[in-house]
Chains A and B, each alone.
Chain A
Amino acid sequence: MSIIYVLIPIAMIFVLIAVAVFFWAVKSEQFDDLDRQSVSILFDEDSGKPNPANIKQQEAQDKGMPQ
């Protein structure tokens, strides 16, 4: 039973770490947009690369536009 004198302080340290991580997460605005983060894993990061040919074409279009 006396093992609790060691285990509970260890548990307390874990809780302290958890609280610290939580505070950091809140302060770094991670909870500001919960809808967004819950689906972000679905998106394939690599697919965000543009097709170079299209980009050139688009740049040409932009230049052609009246300023």
Chain B
Amino acid sequence: MTHPSCFHCNEPVLTGTQFVTQINDRDELMCCPGCQAVSQAIVDAGLLSYYKFRTEPGNKQTALVPEALNQFSAYDLPEVQQDFVHSEDNSDSVSLSIDGITCAACAWLIEHKVKQLSGVRQVMVNSTTQRAMISWDKQQVKLSDILGQISRIGYQAAPYQVDEQELTTKQNSRKFLLRLGLAGFATMQVMMFALALYTGYFTDLDVQYRDYFRWVSMIFATPVVLYSAQPFYFSAIRTLLSGKLNMDVSVSIAIGGAFTASCFATVNGTGEVYFESVSMFTFFLLLGRYFEQKARQKASVSSSNLHKLVPLTAHLVNEQGQEEIPAKKLRLGDIILVKPGEMVAADGCVVEGHSSINEAMLTGEQMPIDKPVDSQVFAGTINLEQPIKVKVTALGQDQLVAEIIRLQELASNTKPAVAMLADKLSRYFSGTILTIATITYFVWLQISPEDAFWVTLSVLVATCPCALALATPTAVTCATAIFTRLGIITRKAGVFEKLPQIKHVIFDKTGTLTCGTLSVSEVKCHSHLAIEEVLAIAAALETGSLHPIATAFAAYLTPDVVANQVHHEVGFGVKGLINGTEYRIGNAQFTGALVNPEFINQQIWLAWGNDDSLEVLATIEIKDNIRVDSKETVGILKQQGCRVSIASGDSSGHVHQLAKALGITDVHSGLTPADKLALVKKLQQSNPVVMFGDGINDAPVLAGADLSVAMGSGSAIAKNSADLILLGDHLSRFTQAVRVAKLTTQIIRQNLAWALGYNALILPLAVTGHVAPYIAAIGMSASSLIVVGNSLRLLRIKI
């Protein structure tokens, strides 16, 4: 049975024509009240261009709870604001990180929606970093209003603090761009004059014009050598000081040597100039490094958002009742009140009340965990049912979240170092060239002292490692560009070397092979009620519940079935009156159903009646949807000779069911984060292992695997410890990534072979003084251009 797809989020519409928004005089179908409300808000604000120009569907709006809007009021507290709001004569400004931005149209939509609030002075949304800069007049509008306005069109915004690392990478990346731009402009000019000079070889250019061109070239090349090429010098000096050699050492010597010699030649009017080689070389190398920097910046942005995991405020319980205070002012032993729908502000112990808590951010499992008095709760998890009082037992660095982050850092430090081919090559290469150049100089000093310097220089220029230095970065840059186009973010270097080598893929279950959201898979009716009626009653009962199961029913809500006197029984279910009849939905015990305890995990029951007499009306099976491309991806991986396993924290039979459906035989269930890490370590001994994950609990194992992949919708910490992030949550992107990486290593090998071959060929000629300077320069430029051209072939591959 196929369903039409939601106009807003492209998910299938299961509710018929119940939710409709009129867009451009056409009735468009929506899948749920959330999407309907969001699209209506967009239409009402006159922002229809969003639907016209967006390139990605919107996010499914599952939780549109009024409390969510009220939560923003905490951000209006001056103590909370002082951390991230900058005030300047009556105007406040804040940086927000926004979840759910999928394309440029989203940025436009948010900007225009926020601008409609009076008092907002400036809004700038950056769709690449998913950030917004907003300044407003605090007399006219509150921060909570702005956050509410953004959430009304379906995005979640929260202020963030830029961490130090991100700030420095941002500055570095900007400096790189300046250096690169300057080198680009200067190189264009110098090349122009170089053309005139080369022509001059064959057509007897007057000496005065030749010198003029040389002087002008020198003027343009100077800033390139002194400013643009700085990163190479610093890196060379650092490596030399630590007693090693790298590519940057020979690059620096070549740039410095060629430039100094060219300056002498210009001033004295003798010899040859290499200004265009120097500039172009610098420009190409910088271009490669710039893209590398850019990718790293993207990665550090996501790690900056980690602090959002722990809420900013807490309700402190004291003699006067309760007051809202900033979470960082909490002390050990304080009692805090956590209302339903709120995040727990600190690790602690329940001292009053009984509720269930969603620990998905820690464990990845959506099913809530029952928390009676005396049980542990953790910062960042969400209270679902009843208000509870919690005694704070750990703060700051002692909290479980901080603990997991530390575990992850530890694992990433002990990660096996994969030696990079180009790095190793360059070390030997630089050493060899420098030795040969020195020997050449001393030998020529004996033969003819006046030629010694020039011959040595031509050795350095002709064998200049530019082609070699460009071989890897250009190919990696092109491959990164394809990855970006596919929606794959590379976070660490070396991914392209590692991807083709993988032999074993391990998947986490929830959120990776499955979507991590629950839906109704099967309804068995035991009475006169039709399936639609059962679902409508269930949906009515579950309205207003924060339990993840409630989201599975949200789509079936009908306006004529309304539940009254709804009462939530923690850990059991919900009861309420519909048209005067009492209904219950929940587990077997609560609804009086008699069942085989094995199936309890995935089934819930609908019953009517009261405590004395209950009649079960229907059995509803809930499941976590398998991702559409899971089966296909697993199939392709197996075809390519990879072993595929599942390692899940879930201990229910669902894991085995899923494995069977996907054709995976190696299944490990009920694992703790430490178990998972141990499993990966064990498997690593025989084959390189790739780990897929999404929850915080996966962070250590992601950091410990040879290569780790996080889903775009996963937790920030998981993304922070992964090598690859799949945006848009398409698993099949991974197999495409493997293909691109295989091609990339192939291209890198070709480049290296060419660069080394060329150098091996030209070296004897240069040492014996048979390479005319212009040949050296042309040879060098040509070899780099061939490498760049070869790498560019990557961009043309079809995925």
Most buried by B among A5, A36, A51: A36
Question: Closest residue of chain A to B189, judged by CB?
Answer: A15
Q: Taking A11-B189, A22-B181, A43-B53 as contacts, is the C-beta distance between A36 and B46 under 8 angstroms? A: no
Extra 13 A-B pairs, beta carbons < 8 Å, given A35-B104, A43-B105: A1-B209, A15-B185, A19-B181, A42-B52, A47-B46, A47-B47, A48-B47, A50-B44, A50-B46, A51-B45, A58-B41, A62-B148, A65-B70
Of B45, B115, B178, B212, which contacts A26 at CB under 8 A? Answer: B178
A67, B174: Cβ atoms closer than 8 Å: no
Which chain B residues border A60 with CB–CB below 8 Å?
Answer: none
State whether A50 touches B116 (Cβ < 8 A): yes
Contacting pair B70 A66 (CB below 8 A): yes
Q: Can you list 20 A-B contacts with CB-CB less than 8 angstroms, sorted by A residue number?
A: A8-B212, A12-B216, A15-B186, A15-B189, A22-B178, A26-B174, A26-B178, A32-B129, A34-B128, A35-B104, A35-B128, A39-B53, A39-B104, A43-B49, A43-B53, A48-B46, A48-B49, A48-B115, A51-B45, A51-B46
- By a CB distance below 8 angstroms, the chain A residues around B48 are 47
Tell me which residues from 76 to 117 in chain B have a Cβ below 8 Å from any Cβ of chain A: 103-105, 107-108, 112, 115-116
When distances are taken between beta carbons in the complex, the residues of chain A under 8 Å from B59 are none
Most-contacted residue by chain B among A22, A34, A51 (CB, 10 A): A22
B46 CB contacts on chain A under 8 angstroms: 47-51
Interface residue? B501 (CB, 8 A): no
The DSSP consensus for interface residues of chain B is helix
Chain B, Cβ-Cβ closest to A8: B216
A27 and B171 CA atoms in complex are apart in Å by 10
Q: What is the bound-complex CA distance between A50 and B206, given in angstroms?
A: 69
| Residue of B whose beta carbon sits closest to that of A5 | B212
Which residues of chain A from 48 to 64 have a CB within 8 Å of any chain B CB? 48-51, 54-55, 57-58, 62
Q: Mark A residues whose CB is within 8 Å of B.
A: 1, 4-5, 8, 11-12, 15, 18-19, 22-23, 26-27, 31-36, 38-40, 42-44, 47-51, 54-55, 57-58, 62, 65-67
A58 CA / B116 CA spacing, docked (Å): 12
Is B445's CB within 8 Å of the partner chain A? no
B116 touching A55 by the CB < 8 A rule? yes
- Report whether A19 and B182 are in contact in the complex, using a CB–CB cutoff of 8 Å: yes
Closest CB-CB distance, A33 to chain B, in whole Å?
A: 4
For B216, list chain A residues within 8 Å (CB).
Answer: 8, 12
CB-based contact B126/A32 at 8 Å: yes
Complex Cα spacing A32 to B126, Å? 8
A51 and B105: CB pair below 8 A?
Answer: no
Contact of B738 with A by CB under 8 A: no
- With a CB–CB cut-off of 8 A, which chain A residues contact B116? 48, 50, 55
* Across-interface contacts of B69 in A (CB, < 8 A): 65
Is there an interface contact between A44 and B49, defined as CB atoms closer than 8 Å? yes
Q: Are A65 and B128 in contact (CB under 8 A)?
A: no
User: Which residues from chain B contact A32 at a C-beta distance below 8 Å?
Assistant: 126, 128-129
Residues of B397-431 at the interface with A, using a CB-CB cut-off of 8 Å, are none
How long is the Cα–Cα vector from A49 to B66 in the complex, in angstroms?
A: 26
| Chain B residues with CB below 8 A from A58, complex form | 41, 44
Of the candidates A23, A34, A47, the one whose C-beta lies within 8 Å of that of B178 is A23
Interface centre among A4, A8, A44, A55 (most CB of B within 10 A): A8
Taken together as a complex, chains A and B put the C-alpha atoms of A22 and B183 apart, in Å, by 12
The A interface, classified by DSSP as helix, strand, loop or mixed, is: helix
Which residues of A are found within 8 Å of B373, using beta-carbon distances? Answer: none
Query: For A42, what are the chain B residues with a Cβ–Cβ distance below 8 Å?
Result: 49, 52-53
B73 within 8 A of A: yes
Residues of A within 8 A of B369 (CB): none
Flag if B107 contacts A26 (CB, 8 Å). Answer: no
A23 neighbours in B (Cβ, 8 Å) = 178, 181
> A51 to nearest B CB, angstroms?
6
Residues on the B chain within 8 Å of A40, using CB? 104, 108
State whether B108 touches A43 (Cβ < 8 A). yes
The reply to whether A54 and B45 form a contact with Cβ atoms under 8 Å apart is yes
Residue of B nearest to A52 (CB): B46
* CA A51 to CA B41, docked complex, whole Å: 11
Chain A residues, CB < 8 A from B105: 39, 43
Q: What sequence of 0s and 1s flags, for each residue 15-55 of chain B, a beta carbon within 8 Å of any chain A beta carbon?
A: 00000000000000000000000000100111111001100
Please give, as numbers and ranges, the residues of chain A lying within 8 Å of B240 by CB-CB distance. none
CA–CA, A35 and B127, complex, Å: 7
- Nearest residue (CB) in A for B43 is A54
Contact of A19 among B49, B104, B185 (CB under 8 A): B185
A31, B177: Cβ atoms closer than 8 Å:
yes
Complex Cα–Cα for A8 and B213 (A): 9
Q: B216 — nearest CB in chain A belongs to which residue?
A: A8
Indicate which residue in B128, B129, B212 contacts A4 across the interface (CB closer than 8 Å).
Answer: B212
Minimum Cβ distance to chain B for residue A32 (Å): 6
Known interface pairs A1-B209, A49-B46; A36-B219 also in contact (CB < 8 Å): no
Q: Which residues of A sit under 8 angstroms from B44, Cβ to Cβ?
A: 50-51, 54-55, 57-58
Chain B residues with CB below 8 A from A35, complex form: 103-104, 127-128
Q: How far is the CB of B608 from chain A (nearest CB, A)?
A: 32
Chain B residue at minimal CB-CB distance from A48 = B112
A9 to B617 CA separation, bound complex (whole angstroms): 90
The residues of A that contact B126 with a CB separation of less than 8 Å are: 32-33, 36
In the complex formed, the residue of B with least CB distance to A42 is: B53
Q: How far, in angstroms, from A33 to B170 measured CA to CA in the complex?
A: 13
> B128 to chain A: which residues have CB within 8 Å?
32-36
* Interchain CB contact under 8 A, B49 and A26: no
Q: How far is the CB of A41 from chain B (nearest CB, A)?
A: 10
Q: How far is the CA of A15 from the CA of B182 in the complex (A)?
A: 10
Measured CA separation A58–B220 after assembly (Å):
60
In the complex, which residues of chain A have a beta carbon less than 8 angstroms from the beta carbon of B47?
Answer: 47-48
Residue of B nearest to A49 (CB): B46
Q: Report the separation of the CA atoms of residues A11 and B196 in the bound assembly, to the nearest whole angstrom.
A: 15
Contact A67 B127 (CB under 8 A): no
B148: A residues at CB distance < 8 A: 62
Q: Which residue of A lies closest to B52 (CB)?
A: A42
Contact indicator B45/A36 (Cβ below 8 Å)? no
User: Smallest Cβ distance from A56 to chain B, in angstroms?
Assistant: 11
Question: Which single residue of chain B is at the shortest CB-CB distance from A34?
Answer: B128
Residues on B with C-beta less than 8 A from A15 are 185-186, 189, 220
B127 and A22 form a contact (CB under 8 A)? no
- Residues on B with C-beta less than 8 A from A54 are 44-45
Our pick among A36, A55, A66 for the contact of B107 (Cβ within 8 Å) is A36
Distance in Å: Cβ of A27 to nearest Cβ of chain B: 8
A13 CA / B330 CA spacing, docked (Å): 62
> Closest residue of chain B to A53, judged by CB?
B44
Residue of chain B at shortest CB distance from A11: B189
Within 441-455 of B, Cβ neighbours of A (below 8 Å) are at: none
**Contact among A22, A31, A65 with B185 in the assembled complex (CB-CB below 8 Å):** A22
- B49 close to A47 (CB less than 8 A): yes
- CB-CB nearest in chain A for B40: A54
Which residues 259-308 of B have a CB within 8 angstroms of A? none
Whole-angstrom CA separation of A57 from B40 in the bound complex: 12
B226 → A minimal CB distance (Å): 14
The complex places the Cα of A38 from the Cα of B216 at a distance, in Å, of 36
Tell me, in angstroms, the Cα distance from A48 to B47 when the chains sit together.
Answer: 5
Please give the distance in Å from B203's CB to the nearest CB on chain A.
12
B220 contacts across to A, CB distance below 8 A: 12, 15
Chain B residues with Cβ under 8 A from A47's Cβ?
A: 46-49
Chain A residue contacts of B186, Cβ below 8 A: 15
CA distance A28 to B47 in the complex (A): 28
